[in-house]
Amino acid sequence: MTDVREKVKSGIDTVADHAKSATDQAKSTADQAKSTTDRGASVVGQVKHKAEEAVEAVGEYAHDAKDKVQHFAEDAYDVAGDKLGTLSKDVTELVKKYPIQALLIGFGAGMLMGRASRA
């Protein structure tokens, strides 16, 4: 009977050792998973920070581009206004200098536009 007891006790000890080993492996796996999760969170944080920096840089670039386009448009408007004023003044002088020719040119241009709009 003691022999049976020894075998049962030995079996229980073996099962306990296997259970402890499995528990240790599970703890080790859980620690590795936590470490991997922590590293993943760190990478996500770094990616988020880089994305925020990129958004800020793009915003600054867009603001600078808007300013440049606005200045270019203002300059173009000023130049166009000056040229139009000069053209208007030149046409007025030509009409005053050559009134009959201007009247005939206006009549001819009106006729051409009338024909073009009918076709």
Contact yes or no for 116/110 (Cβ under 8 A)? no
In tens, the pLDDT along 57-112 reads 888 989 889 999 999 999 888 888 888 888 888 889 988 999 999 999 999 999 99
Q: 8-40 burial string, b = 16+ CB within 10 Å, else e? A: eeeeeeeeeeeeeeeeeeeeeeeeeeeeeeeee
Global pTM reads 0.44
In tens, the pLDDT along 10-56 reads 777 787 777 788 787 878 887 787 888 888 778 888 888 888 888 89
Domain extent, residue 66, equals 2-118
How far apart CA 13 and CA 85 sit, in angstroms, is 106
**What total of structural domains would you count in the chain?**
1
